[in-house]
Structure 1
Amino acid sequence: MPNLRLTRHAVDAIPFPQTGQVFYRDTLLPGFGLRVGTKSKVYFAEKQVQRRTCRVTIGRADLFAPETARKKALALLGEMAEGRNPNKEKKQEVVTKLTLADAFDSFFKARPHLSPHTVENYSRSARLYLRAWRKKPIHEITRQMVLKRHQELSAQVGKTTANNVMRHLRSVYNYAAATHDEFPPNPVQILTQAQAWHREQRR
């Protein structure tokens, strides 16, 4: 990893590699560096946190002056010196803010080729049958909440609809969990573990 003082002139003069990435370390502030790819130059801060290397992206070199990026790096390195992992904290913050409605929206965006019929069925589940949870962070939906709601829907709108709603919730939750590492296990699993799914007659 080459070492040099990261000034505006030095950063602009660094060539883009034809393939892969090259990392440059700043000689002024240990832990501050520049990642150069085939089309981009990005500042980062790097330090050992709990015996593991933690590298935090600061921003693109065409948007941040080296002096500004260095100040941000200094603050991040201070957090990491205290044992905090900014990457993990950022992921956790995203998880705590992701509502059920947000999760359904993300699910649809990731699957643009779903049939209109499928989209409408999923949307109806969120809009009508899971309406009380739409603004709730999805990771706060518990196993007992799922079990209770499944029982309520079974009595109110029928066993088949209750099953379908929970299948939709299970799929959306699985997608959210796949894109956010900090998620707890899917709460809809309780229906399988408790053998609470209703038997359905095939048409």
Structure 2
Amino acid sequence: MTDLRLALTDRAIASLEPASSGQYFARDTDLPGFMVLVGKRRKTFVVQGERRKAGKRLSVRMKVAEVGELTTRAARAKAKDILGKIANGVDPRASARKPDGDAAAVDLPSISNPMLRMAWERYRDGHMKNKGRSDGTINNYRDHIERLLADWLDEPLSKLGNDPSLVTVRHEKLTNENGAYIANGCMRTLRAVYNHARKVARTLPADNPVSAIDWNAEHRRNTALGLSDLEAWFTQLAALKNPVRRELHLFMLLSGHRPEAIRKARVEHVDFRARVLHIPKPKGGEVKAFDVPLSNAMIRGLVRVMRIGRALYAEQSREWLFPAESESGHIIEHKEKRSDLSKWGNDLRQTFRTIAQAAGVAELDVHLLMNHSIPGVNAGYITRNKLLSDHLRHQQEAISRRMLQAGRSRSKETKGQTGIWPALASRRILSDLLSGKD
């Protein structure tokens, strides 16, 4: 919500709506620098002024009292006294500290000692979005902070920094209730937010409180299909009722790419002449954009799904490769019941990596096809696009051929069929697409 300006009174403050997300200020029109900070759960009287030190102008913001502890008139009088001290060059926050030198008894919602909510929003907007992180990555971090740590949103980071036991207890609780992997992921997000906040809030404890936890052991999931498993999987795939979803799963198997990137693939990103599908914003953001080389089987699949999309979802298919009756216009959820389809999503990504090995594709080529970071010092000397039109496409073709050979039921295969779908006039449709016909 945007900040407000109004004459602050008890009645006006009581009528202020709680923030739907984040926080906002209601600034007093009678006393500049006097305001109310409104969050989701509470309202706080705050003052902000400027003082000079060594010829520099420094901004000072501090809490006066919680709304309800003082009347607005009493809070304004106290704020006027504080603002007078600030104008005279005095930092009133120093007098609010405990005699033993600990942090102020009252934690202030400011950049110098931010609430978790403020620190998360600054990390999200100032770091993740500026770095071009994908929507999926941002939403994953948001789930950690706004759902799993929701009760900490209006707590100052200094509270966690000064008492790491709070973090260790929460990690154990998340492990028991949500699982080891989610608990670790949530703590990694909190660690990143805290480190980012401390770049500005230098008074926060230097030791990240997350460093106190004992991490849960994590093991790479082994959920790939082997060559001998593909025939049964293709049989399940052919039985799916929705043909667009059927083609989505097949393309994810043949490409080995992340579900989110494929679900959001657009028609405009397919270049049949260059035989590539452009992925403009994969995991890692726009700087990681790349082209997927298309095998013949992948092209036939895209031609089929574009034809099917036009028939079933005329409007949505103008924009999306895998259209659906959803708010966005494309398939949102790629998961299936395991009884209907045993493997999907990242299972198929692991399968691609496994079958590529069986097809004799070199490790480096697999990294390039899956858009993985290339290990070692050679990474900076390899230009992916120079390998795309010839070498990588041949490797993609070899992997697709190996998958389809393993998945095809020889006993059921008939001339002119792939073994699971009846033949379509793919050549004519592709010709129309290349010529720009509707």
Q: Contact 2:112/2:201 (CA < 8 Å) preserved in 1? A: no
Counterpart residue number, 2:167: 146
Asked if 1:56 corresponds to 2:29, the answer is no
Q: 2:217 aligns with which of 179, 199, 203?
A: 199
Structure 1 residues 56, 158: closer, same or farther in 2, change over 3 A?
same
Q: Secondary structure at the match of 1:182?
A: coil
TM-score (norm 1): 0.55
SS in 1 for 2:56: strand
Instruction: Return the alpha-carbon distance in structure 2 between the equivalents of residues 199 and 96 of structure 1.
Output: 35
Relative distance call for 1:127 and 1:55 in structure 2 (3 A) is same
2:178 is the counterpart of 1:157: yes
Structure 2 contact 111–200 (Cα < 8 Å) conserved: no
Seen in structure 2, the aligned counterparts of structure 1 residues 55 and 182 have a Cα distance that, compared at 3 Å, is: farther
More strand by share: 1
Deviation at 1:55, TM superposition (A): 4.0
Residues 119-130 of structure 1 mapped to structure 2, 5 A cutoff: 119-130=138-149
Q: 2:189 aligns with which of 162, 165, 168?
A: 168
Q: For 2:217, give the aligned amino acid.
A: R
Aligned runs of 1:41-120 on 2, under 5 Å?
Answer: 45-46=52-53, 54-57=54-57, 75-76=88-89, 79=90, 94=110, 98-111=114-127, 112=129, 113-120=132-139
Report what 2:307 is aligned to: none
Shift of 1:180: 1.2
Distance in 2 (alpha carbons) for counterparts of 1:55 and 1:189:
39
Q: What residue number does 2:369 align with?
A: none
Sequence identity of aligned pairs in percent?
26
Contact 2:190–2:210 under 8 Å retained in 1:
yes
Amino acid aligned to 2:135: P
CA distance in 2, matches of 1:131, 1:166: 14
1:72 shift after superposition: 9.1
Contact 2:175/2:183 (CA < 8 Å) preserved in 1?
Answer: yes
RMSD: 3.1
The 4+ residue runs of structure 1 with deviation greater than 6 A are 71-74
For 1:187 and 1:106, the matched residues in 2 are separated by 19
Aligned residue among 125, 128, 133 for 2:152: 133
Q: Distance in 2 between matches of 1:44 and 1:101?
A: 27
Aligned pair count reads 130
Q: Which amino acid aligns with 1:154?
A: T
Distance 1:45 1:95 in 2: 19
Summarize the Cα distance change of 1:57–1:96 in structure 2 as closer, same or farther, 3 Å threshold: closer
Partner Cα distance (1:162, 1:97) in 2? 25
SS in 2 for 1:139: helix
d(CA) in 2 for partners of 1:174, 1:58: 24
Residue 197 of structure 2 is aligned to residue 181 of structure 1: no
Supply the AA of the counterpart residue of 2:147: L
Structure 1 unaligned spans of 5+: 1-42, 47-53, 60-70
User: Which one has a bigger Cα radius of gyration?
Assistant: 2
Deviation at 1:155, TM superposition (A): 0.5
Q: How far apart in 2 are the matches of 1:44 and 1:187?
A: 33
User: Structure 2: how far apart are the matches of 1:129 and 1:120?
Assistant: 13
How far apart in 1 are the matches of 2:186 and 2:86? Answer: 46
| Paired letter, 1:176 | A
Write the distance in 2 (CA, Å) between the matches of 1:73 and 1:100: 27
Displacement of 1:202 in angstroms is 1.9
Judge conservation of contact 1:96–1:137 (CA < 8 Å) in 2.
no
Residue 45 (structure 1) shift: 3.6
Tell me, what secondary structure is at the counterpart of 1:198?
Answer: coil
> Using a 3 Å threshold, how does the CA distance of structure 1 residues 182 and 154 change in structure 2: closer, same or farther?
same
Taking the TM superposition and a 5 Å limit, the aligned residue runs for 1:10-29 are: none
Instruction: Label 1:58 to 1:134 Cα distance change in 2 as closer, same or farther (>3 A).
Output: closer
SS of structure 2 residue aligned to 1:188 = helix
**Relative CO higher for 1 or 2, CA cutoff 8 Å, sep ≥ 6?**
1
- Whether the 8 Å CA contact 1:170–1:186 is kept in 2: the answer is yes
